[in-house]
Amino acid sequence: MTVLDSKVPGGPLEKKWDQHKFDLKLVNPANKRKFSVIVVGTGLAGASAAASMAELGYNVLNFCFQDSPRRAHSIAAQGGINAAKNYPNDGDSIYRLFYDTVKGGDFRAREANVYRLAQVSNNIIDQCVAQGVPFAREYGGMLDNRSFGGAQVSRTFYARGQTGQQLLLGAYSALSRQVGEGNVKMYERREMLELAVINGKARGIVCRNLVSGDVESYTADAVVLATGGYGNVFYLSTNAMNSNVTAAWRAHKQGAFFANPCFTQIHPTCIPVSGDHQSKLTLMSESLRNDGRVWVPKKKGDTRPPEQIPESERYYYLEEKYPSFGNLVPRDVASRNGKIVCDEGLGVGSGQSVYLDFADAINRLGEDVVRARYGNLFDMYHHITDENPYKMPMKIFPAIHYTMGGLWVDYNLMSTIPGLFVLGEANFSDHGANRLGASALMQGLADGYFVLPYTIGGYFAGTELEDVDNNHSVLKDLENQSTEKTNKLLTINGKRTVDDIHRELGKLLWEDCGMARNEAGLKDAKEKIPKIREEFWQNVKVPGEAGEFNQELEKAGRVADFLEFGELMVTDALDRKESCGGHFREESQTEEGEALRDDENYAYAAAWEFQGVDKESTLHKEPLTFEHVKLTQRSYK
């Protein structure tokens, strides 16, 4: 085991980033043209990075698997984006945003990175407004803010319920301008399958052209992955259908360490699963908990309709257990308690849901006020479930939503492979063991607009790079491997579909490595995953051919990677015997059943090194020190 060097610059916290920017060597403007960069991903992180680097003069090659960069999964974010502007004058500051994020992450993030994130948060809002992003405004013409995710200040900027869409379209417009000017070459419907590491540096990628099926190689002086999160390893999640771990996993197999894979976030208010046909889960904004009351019947197997269950026979478990925060406890606490009551047999509907009841709010405020606040969410719920939430309580259940883990990066956002940078949800950097609401959009844009464009220059200015073209033997070998793997998938011709096996993996992980984890369950999962993997390679059925548009083949490749990655997730969860943030180890809880951290033994980021499929990965630790935010146990009682 080695100790990882995070390359955090010295000096006082507030000065680190400015000093570092000053210390980074610069690439002279005329020379920037000579450098090329591959950016995989066009979400908030990828599009903002590709556009900003092209503006600086680099040659950018940008890839995504959708038919247009504008459709990256970031488009689906609803709630908003945080910044420390303090426009409402309610006491917010860069320091407070930093503090809240470190604490919210349950002390498993790097202080210096988080501080920088808070610092650049304000530039993001300025940048987006300059692009014409139509944020919500007050009558006076100033930007409107709301509070989000339990924060005590209003620091969230939003564009109706479509903040992610508007921010992404802003970044996409900047990207489109650069494509139009010829500074970015855009490759849509391409799936990166391999990372090429040549003489120890990331220098290229191998892709499948999803339309023709051709295997294509591209080279550059550096590679940036902004490929999103891996929540779909659970099969059901709130992520878009095609989100996957392949790019990150392939880089991991080439030597990039994977950090904290077991840190996943479960969102408490999603629409429950309605049957085996379910393909994905839909998130209902967290803001609903401001006025909705969560309850289940006190009696097991009580099948009476909710309105016939008298007040005295209802169990408002959040209000009873957490009198001071009540229904507004953080995401992880709300989710876990929902699971506990369902495990006790108190769940409603299918047994895997709880009520979120607005009857009191409607009585107190009137239906009109409730409609004004939540109208579109109520409509969405009604549309999907065919039940009217004005008349009967909603049914909700937690769902996988976000992944804090990701490829390990240093302060410069560079992975353990020189020249491989990782941005956005795909890296592990800023959210520790739990992400606060409205902070993922902030991080993606911070990485892409304001961090990488500087740090990548430092890398180029200080690195010798020899000429490489796509006939290099490393690329040829990777192309052959890809082709072989594809042919293998197409010839197994077994009896089970890709989805069927993916669902089996997802169910197992949800049971054993989901909202609550324990040693026995994790060991069980660790034994079972290799068997599912074997089943896949023996018995999957992938139709069609390699040289054509073939969506089942795309899925098969992604699930093959999830089947390897899932095992690492479980390994990481086994290693971390403490509870923290989204990672709840049943063995490590307080007397009241709350998550209990073990700072003495686990105040580190776990960075895993790949040793081979079916071999144990090696753990490397990045020790985390907290100089500014005092380590405390969270309490919401």
Partner 1 sequence: MKLTLKIWRQKNAQAKGKLVTYQLDDISPDMSFLEMLDVLNQKLIIEGDDPVAFDNDCREGICGMCSLYIGGRAHGHETETTVCQLHMRSFDDGQTVTIEPWRAKALPVIKDLVVDRGAFDRIIQAGGFVSTKTGAPQDANALPIPKQDADKAMDAAACIGCGACVASCKNASAMLFVSAKISQLALLPQGQPERDKRALAMVHQMDMEGFGNCTNEGECEAECPKAIKMTNIARLFREYYRATFTYEEQ
Task: Write the DSSP assignment of 317-344 as a string of letters.
Answer: HHHHH-TTTGGG--HHHHHHHHHHHHHT
Considering only residues 172, 218, 257, 562, which one is a binding residue for partner 1 as defined by CB under 8 A?
A: 172
Q: Catalytic one among 331, 533, 597, 634?
A: 331
CB of 538 to partner 1, least distance (A): 16
Between 523 and 552, how does the x/- string for binding to partner 1 read (CB under 8 A)? ------------------x-xx---xx-xx
Considering only residues 24, 38, 52, 153, which one is a binding residue for partner 1 as defined by CB under 8 A?
A: 52
Between 257 and 286, how does the x/- string for binding to ligand FAD read (CB under 6 A)? --------------------------x---
Nearest to 3 by CA among 418, 624, 623: 623
CB of 467 to ligand FAD, least distance (A): 25
Q: Does 395 bind partner 1 (CB under 8 A)?
A: no
Between 80 and 119, how does the x/- string for binding to partner 1 read (CB under 8 A)? -----x-x--------------------------------
CB of 137 to partner 1, least distance (A): 4
Q: Which residues contact 140 (CB under 8 A, 6 or more apart)?
A: none
Q: Does 104 bind ligand FAD (CB under 6 A)?
A: no
C-beta closer to partner 1: residue 401 or 585:
401
Helix, strand and coil in the chain, % to nearest 5: 40, 15, 40
Give the separation between CA 502 and CA 507, rounded to whole angstroms.
9
CB of 141 to ligand FAD, least distance (A): 24
- Number of Cβ within 10 Å of residue 140's Cβ equals 6
C-beta closer to ligand FAD: residue 229 or 292:
229
Give first-to-last CA distance, the chain, whole Å: 40
The sign of the CA dihedral 184, 190, 191, 195 is negative
C-beta closer to partner 1: residue 446 or 513:
446
Q: Does 274 bind partner 1 (CB under 8 A)?
A: yes
The position carrying tokens 């992400």 is 435
Give the separation between CA 211 and CA 214, rounded to whole angstroms.
8
Are the beta carbons of 443 and 43 closer than 8 angstroms?
A: no
CB of 509 to ligand FAD, least distance (A): 17
Give the separation between CA 17 and CA 9, rounded to whole angstroms.
8
HSE-CB at 181 with a 13 A cutoff on CA atoms is 15
The position carrying tokens 């293998």 is 488
CB of 79 to ligand FAD, least distance (A): 3
Q: Tell me the backbone φ, ψ of residue 154, rounded to 5 degrees.
A: -95, 100
Q: Does 191 bind ligand FAD (CB under 6 A)?
A: yes
Q: Does 177 bind partner 1 (CB under 8 A)?
A: yes
Q: Does 72 bind ligand FAD (CB under 6 A)?
A: yes
CB of 139 to partner 1, least distance (A): 5
Q: Determine the angle formed by the axes of helices 111-131 and 163-180, rounding to 10 degrees.
A: 70
Q: Which does 501 bind (CB under 5 to 8 A by kind): ligand FAD, partner 1, none?
A: none
Q: Does 143 bind partner 1 (CB under 8 A)?
A: yes
The interface with ligand FAD within residues 409-428 (CB under 6 A) comprises: 424-426
Q: Which residues pair with 622 in a beta bridge?
A: 605
Q: Does 43 bind ligand FAD (CB under 6 A)?
A: yes
268 CB-contact burial (10 Å; exposed 0-12 / middle 13-18 / buried 19+): buried
Apex 445 CA angle, 443 and 446, nearest 5: 60
C-beta closer to partner 1: residue 75 or 333:
75
**Residues of 101-133 as b/e, b for ≥16 C-beta within 10 angstroms?**
bbbbbbbbbbbbbbbbbbbbbeebbebbeebeb
C-beta closer to partner 1: residue 83 or 574:
83
C-beta closer to ligand FAD: residue 218 or 295:
218
Considering only residues 25, 495, 523, 577, which one is a binding residue for partner 1 as defined by CB under 8 A?
A: 495
Apex 609 CA angle, 603 and 615, nearest 5: 120
Total binding residues toward ligand FAD, as defined by CB under 6 A: 45
Specify the stretch interacting with partner 1 by CB under 8 A; choose among 33-41, 131-139, 246-254, 506-514. 131-139
Q: Does 243 bind ligand FAD (CB under 6 A)?
A: yes
Q: In 357-513, where does DSSP find H-type helix? A: 359-365, 367-385, 440-445, 452-461, 473-492, 498-513
C-beta closer to partner 1: residue 348 or 516:
348
Q: Tell me the backbone φ, ψ of residue 97, rounded to 5 degrees.
A: -65, -45
CB of 298 to partner 1, least distance (A): 28
- The side-by-side arrangement of strands in the sheet containing 394-403 is 264-270, 394-403, 354-357, 293-297, 314-315
Q: Does 275 bind partner 1 (CB under 8 A)?
A: yes
The sign of the CA dihedral 621, 622, 624, 625 is positive
Find the Cα–Cα–Cα–Cα dihedral 24, 432, 578, 352, rounded to 10°. Answer: -160
The interface with ligand FAD within residues 391-410 (CB under 6 A) comprises: 401-402
Specify the stretch interacting with partner 1 by CB under 8 A; choose among 298-306, 313-321, 354-362, 491-499. 491-499
Considering only residues 64, 333, 409, 452, which one is a binding residue for ligand FAD as defined by CB under 6 A?
A: 64
Q: Which residues pair with 258 in a beta bridge?
A: 407, 608
Give the separation between CA 221 and CA 332, rounded to whole angstroms.
41
Are the beta carbons of 620 and 407 closer than 8 angstroms?
A: no
Q: Does 372 bind partner 1 (CB under 8 A)?
A: no
The interface with ligand FAD within residues 309-368 (CB under 6 A) comprises: none
Distances (CA, A) of 534 to 314, 443, 613: 47, 37, 11
Are the beta carbons of 175 and 42 closer than 8 angstroms?
A: yes
Q: Does 227 bind ligand FAD (CB under 6 A)?
A: yes
Specify the stretch interacting with partner 1 by CB under 8 A; choose among 49-57, 247-255, 397-405, 436-444. 49-57
Q: Which does 101 bind (CB under 5 to 8 A by kind): ligand FAD, partner 1, none?
A: none
Q: Which does 499 bind (CB under 5 to 8 A by kind): partner 1, ligand FAD, none?
A: partner 1
The interface with partner 1 within residues 545-604 (CB under 8 A) comprises: 548-549, 551-552
70 is catalytic: no
Are the beta carbons of 450 and 93 closer than 8 angstroms?
A: no
Nearest to 570 by CA among 607, 617, 523: 523
CB of 357 to ligand FAD, least distance (A): 23
Q: Does 165 bind ligand FAD (CB under 6 A)?
A: no
Residues in the site for ligand FAD, rule: CB under 6 A?
A: 40-46, 63-66, 72-74, 76-81, 163-164, 190-192, 226-229, 238-239, 243, 246-247, 283, 401-402, 424-426, 438-441, 444
Q: Which residues form the catalytic set? A: 331
